[in-house]
Amino acid sequence: MIDSLYVAWRYLRYHWGRSLTLVVCVTLIAVLPLALELLLDESKRQLLARAETTPLVVGAKGSSLDLVMNSLYFGDSVPEPISMAAVDRIADTDLALPVPLYVRFKARGLPIVGTNLDYFDFRGLKIQAGRNLALLGECVLGARAAEALGLGPGDALLSSPETLFDLAGVYPMKMRVVGVLAPTQSADDLAVFVDLKTAWVIQGLVHGHQDLGAVTDPTLVMERTDGNLTATAKLVQYTEITPENINSFHLHGSPADYPITAILALPHDKKSAALLRGRYVAAGDQGEPQQILVPADVIAGLLASIFRIKSVLDAVILVVGTATVLALVLVLALSLRLRAGEIATIFKLGCSRATIARLLGAEIAIILAAAALLTGLLLAVVGHHDEALVRALFIR
Amino acid sequence: MQPIKRPLPRAAIAALILLLSAAAVSAQDRLRIYTVNYPLAYFAERIAGDLAEVTFPAPGDVDPAFWMPDAETIAAYQAADLILLNGADYEKWTGKVSLPRSRLVDTSRAFRDAYIREAGGITHSHGPGGEHDHGGLAFTTWLDLSQAAQQAEAIAQALIRKSPDAKEEIERNLHALRDDLLALDERIAEITRTDPGRPLLASHPVYQYLARRYGLNLISVMWEPEELPNEGQWNALEGILEDHPARWMLWEGEPGQATATRLRALGIDSLVLDPCANRPAKGDFLTVMTENARNLDRIFGKGAGER
C-alpha cells in the first residue's frame, strides 16, 4: 500500500499543475457551504445578542427593520423622526426608562449617535481613555472609530455635511474628542457618541450666535420692527462650541418638539414591558403614529429571510458542486484514456489489474486528503476571524 | 514623674475598628443627592435625613439660576444617585451639559401646566429656525409654598424609588416638612387676604408665583439692589406709579442707601423678600420664609393701610 501511495505521490508531483487544479476544485466545493454556514451562524449570534439585550424600541411607523437596524447597529437607513415628546410620554407611564437616540449624521463616514448618559450605563460602555461627555460640543469615540480616525482625547472631529452641494445648509461642526470607549465587539465600537443636544447643534436647531439685541452692524439686520428683528444670512453662527461662546447656545421652542430617530425603552420588569406594548397596540387603532418593537422578533424575522436565501444558495452550491464533481470525474476518465499506453506498460511489467486500481485509488485519495487539509485550514482561518468578517461583510 | 502609658486593650481597638468601618460603610450606603438650588437641598435634607448626603455645589455668592458649573462639578452631578431639578427652565446650564436622564428628578413636573410664561425680549429670526424669542418661564416656583410642598413630594417619591425600605421614614419626614410649608402658606395667605388689591412694586421679576398664589397686585421693574438706577429707570418708575400707586417695593436683598432714600422721597418704602435661592448666611429656608411672612405683615398688617 505504501508503495502504491509513493508511486501515486510521485505521479501527482510530476503532473503538479493538474493535481493542484483538482485539489483547489475539491476544496472550493467543500469550503464554500461550510464557510457560509460558519459566517451565518456568527452573524445570527451577533445580531441576536444585541437584539436580545435591547428590550423595546419605539419609533415612527414604517419599516420595522430600518428602525431596528438604525437604532441597534446604526445602519444607514434613517427612519422618520419622532419628537422628544415621545420620550416624555414613556417617562410619564413610569413603566420604562426611555433612552433617546438620534442617529442621522456622520463624521468621516462613521455614524454620530446622539443620546444621553443612560445609553452608556445600559450598554455597559466604559471609558478607556479621557473622560465621558460633559459639555455641549464634545464627543466620545468607539474603540475602532478612534483607531480608524487616528484620534484620541484632545483632538477635534468635524461632522460631515449631509449634502455636499447644500451651500445654504448647516456648516460642519467641530467636535472636541474627550474620550475613547473600551472595545465591546459591537456596533458601539464604530460610532461617534455625542449628547443629544450636540446632535441638534449639528442640525442647526440649537445654535449660538451674536446677541441680536446688541447688534450694531446694519448689514446684519434685514428687518427691525417693534419687538421683532430679522437677521440676514451674514449673521455668523458658531461652528465650534468653546468656553467663550457656550452660553450663547440656545434651543428654539420647546425641547419636546425636537427630533430623534428612536427610543430604547427599558422596562422595569416583564409586566411593565407588556403594559407598555399594550398601550401602543391599543393606540394603534386610533391612528397612533409610532410603533413599539421587540428587536429580537424583528431580527428573528430578518434571520428567517436570510436562511430562506441561504437554502437557495445551498441549492445553487449543490448544483454547481455536482457539476464540478461530474467535471472532475470526466477529467479523471479522460486522463485514464490519455494514460492508456502508460497503464498497458504497467500491466506488461507484471502488475495486476488490482494493483493498477490501487495506484489510481491512491492518487484520488491523496487529492482528497490534500483538499480536506486545505479545507480544514481555510475553515480554521474563517472561524478565527468570523466575528470581524461578519462585521466587515454583513453588519458593519 | 512620667505618666504611665497603658496600652489600649485589644477589645477597645477592635471595637474602634468596627465602629470606624461601620461609619465608612454607612457613608458609602448613603445616597448622593445633588440639587440645583438651595430650597431643593433644604427639602431633600429634611426628607432624607441620614439616608442621603445632599450637596448643593453652587458658590454662596451666585444666583443658581444663572450659574454654570465647571467640568469637575458636572462630573460630580453625573456621579450622583439623584439630581434634583427645579424645572420651569430654572437650571439653564443643564441644557449645555450631559446628565443621565434616569437620575434627574424634575420636582415641579406635577404642576407644569401651571408654569407662568414671561413675555420675552426681542423676537428675532435667522436661519431655518423661524421667528423666536428668548423669553422664558418664571422659575421661582417655591415662593408659592403650596407648590414648594408639591416639589417636596416629588423629592420624597424619588427617594422612595431609590430606597424603598426607608419609605416609612421618608413619608414621616415629608409630612413634617409639608406641615411646616403649608402652615406658612396659610399664614401668608391670611396676611395678604386683608387687602388683596394693594399695589406693590418688585425690584426684579422673581415674585410671579408668590403674586399669583397670594393675590398680590405686583408690578416688577429690573433694578439691582447693589446698583443705583439711572434716570431713565426712575422716569419709568414714575410712569408706573401714575396708574399703580404703590407704597412698597419688594427687594431680593437690602437695597443701597441712596436708592432707598430716593424711593422714600417718592413715598415708597423698601422691604426685603428673600427668594432664598442660595443658602442663607443665617438660618434655613423655613426661617427665611418666616421672616418674609413677617415682612409681608408689615405691608398688610393692621395700620399699614393708612400709609
The neighbour count for residue A228, using CB atoms within 10 Å, is 13
B100–A121 C-beta distance less than 8 A? yes
A12 and A90 in a common domain: no
Q: What chain A residue is nearest to B73 in terms of C-alpha separation?
A: A134
Q: Is B3 exposed, middle or buried (0-12, 13-18, 19+ CB in 10 A)?
A: exposed
Q: What chain A residue is nearest to B88 in terms of C-alpha separation?
A: A254
Place A42 in a pLDDT band, splitting at 50, 70 and 90. Answer: confident
Contact (CB, 8 A) for A45 and A276? no
A118 touches chain B (CB under 8 A): yes
d(CA A51, CA A239): 36
A38 touches chain B (CB under 8 A): no
A116–B68 C-beta distance less than 8 A? no
d(CA B180, CA B39): 14
**Can you give the pLDDT at residue B25?**
43
Residues forming beta bridges with residue B83, ordered by sequence position = B34, B104
State the nearest Cα–Cα gap between A37 and chain B, in angstroms.
42
Answer whether residue A214 is part of any domain.
Answer: no
The tens digit of pLDDT for each residue in A182-211 reads 999 889 999 999 999 999 988 888 777 666
A235 touches chain B (CB under 8 A): yes
A150 and A85 in a common domain: yes
A132–B124 C-beta distance less than 8 A? no
* Cα distance between the two ends of chain B: 78
Q: Which of A263, A293, A323 is the last residue of a domain?
A: A293
Q: Is residue B202 left, alpha or beta, with left meaning phi > 0 and alpha meaning psi from -120 to 50?
A: beta
* All three cell numbers of A186: 459591537
Identify residue B42 by its one-letter amino acid code: Y
Contacts of B131 in chain A (CB under 8 A): 228, 230
A180 and A66 in a common domain: yes
A228–B98 C-beta distance less than 8 A? no
Answer whether residue A173 is part of any domain.
Answer: yes
The alpha carbon of residue B91 and the mean position of all alpha carbons in its chain are separated, in whole angstroms, by: 12
A99 touches chain B (CB under 8 A): yes
* Domain span including residue A15: 2-47+301-393
- HSE (side-chain half, CA atoms, 13 Å) at A183: 6
Mutate to test the interface with A, among B101, B105, B162 (most CBs of A within 10 A): B101
The neighbour count for residue A151, using CB atoms within 10 Å, is 19
| Degrees to nearest 5, angle at CA A189 with A186 and A194 | 120
Answer whether residue A357 is part of any domain.
Answer: yes
- What is the four-CA torsion angle of A237, A242, A247, A249, rounded to 10 degrees? 40
A372 and A278 in a common domain: no
Of the partner residues A195, A205, A252, the one whose CB lies closest to the CB of residue B98: A195
A256 and A330 in a common domain: no
**A212 pLDDT more than 80:** no
A235–B100 C-beta distance less than 8 A? no
B101–A99 C-beta distance less than 8 A? yes
The tens digit of pLDDT for each residue in A219-256 reads 666 666 655 666 666 566 667 888 778 877 777 777 88
Cell 486545505 belongs to A374
A285 and A204 in a common domain: yes
Answer whether residue A220 is part of any domain.
Answer: no
Q: What chain A residue is nearest to B75 in terms of C-alpha separation?
A: A134
Task: pLDDT tens for chain B, 307 residues: list them.
Answer: 444 445 555 655 555 555 554 444 455 579 999 999 999 999 999 999 999 999 999 999 999 999 999 989 999 999 999 999 999 999 989 989 999 999 999 999 999 999 999 875 544 454 444 444 445 899 999 999 999 999 999 999 999 999 999 999 999 999 999 999 999 999 999 999 988 889 999 999 999 999 999 999 999 998 988 888 999 999 999 999 999 999 999 999 999 999 999 999 999 999 999 999 999 999 999 999 999 999 999 999 754 544 4
Contact (CB, 8 A) for B34 and B83? yes
Answer whether residue A196 is part of any domain.
Answer: yes
| Degrees to nearest 5, angle at CA A28 with A26 and A29 | 65
Contacts of A118 in chain B (CB under 8 A): 100-102
SS3 category, B284: coil
d(CA B137, CA B116): 6
d(CA A73, CA A39): 18
SS3 category, A138: strand
By DSSP bridging, strand B52-55 and strand B31-35 are parallel
Of the partner residues B97, B124, B132, the one whose CB lies closest to the CB of residue A135: B97
Enumerate chain B positions whose Cβ falls within 8 A of a Cβ in A: 68, 71, 74-75, 78, 95-102, 121-132, 134
Query: Which ipTM value was assigned to this complex?
Result: 0.77
The tens digit of pLDDT for each residue in A310-334 reads 788 788 888 888 887 888 888 788 8
Please state, rounded to an integer, the average pLDDT across all residues of chain A.
87
State the nearest Cα–Cα gap between A133 and chain B, in angstroms.
6
Q: Which of A237, A267, A293 is the last residue of a domain?
A: A293
A254 and A284 in a common domain: yes
Q: Which of A259, A293, A327 is the last residue of a domain?
A: A293
**A52 pLDDT more than 80:** yes
The alpha carbon of residue A329 and the mean position of all alpha carbons in its chain are separated, in whole angstroms, by: 43
**DSSP per-residue string spanning B174-191:** HHHHHHHHHHHHHHHHHH
* All three cell numbers of B297: 405683615
A347 and A281 in a common domain: no
Cell 459639555 belongs to A135
H/E stretch holding A174 = strand A174-181
A195 touches chain B (CB under 8 A): yes
Q: Using the 8-state DSSP alphabet, how is residue B221 labeled?
A: -
Answer whether residue A109 is part of any domain.
Answer: yes
| Degrees to nearest 5, angle at CA A337 with A336 and A341 | 95
A133–B98 C-beta distance less than 8 A? yes
A50 touches chain B (CB under 8 A): no
H/E stretch holding A306 = helix A295-338
State the nearest Cα–Cα gap between B122 and chain A, in angstroms.
5
Contacts of B134 in chain A (CB under 8 A): 250
Place A309 in a pLDDT band, splitting at 50, 70 and 90. Answer: confident
**A67 pLDDT more than 50:** yes
**Can you give the pLDDT at residue B9?**
59
A184 and A144 in a common domain: yes
B74–A228 C-beta distance less than 8 A? no
Answer whether residue A230 is part of any domain.
Answer: no
Tell me what percent of the residues of chain A surpass a pLDDT of 70. Answer: 89
Q: Is B143 exposed, middle or buried (0-12, 13-18, 19+ CB in 10 A)?
A: buried
**Can you give the pLDDT at residue B22?**
47
The tens digit of pLDDT for each residue in A120-164 reads 999 999 999 999 999 999 999 999 999 999 999 999 999 987 766
A246–B124 C-beta distance less than 8 A? no
Question: Angle, to 10 degrees, between the axis of helix B38-48 and the axis of helix B167-193?
Answer: 130
A126 and A71 in a common domain: yes
B128–A195 C-beta distance less than 8 A? no
d(CA A104, CA A170): 14
A30 and A70 in a common domain: no
Q: What chain B residue is nearest to A114 in terms of C-alpha separation?
A: B98
Which structural domains are found in chain B, ordered by start? 30-119+135-185 (3.40.50.1980), 194-273 (3.40.50.1980)
d(CA A195, CA A99): 12
Answer whether residue A255 is part of any domain.
Answer: yes
Number of domains in chain A: 2
A105 and A43 in a common domain: no
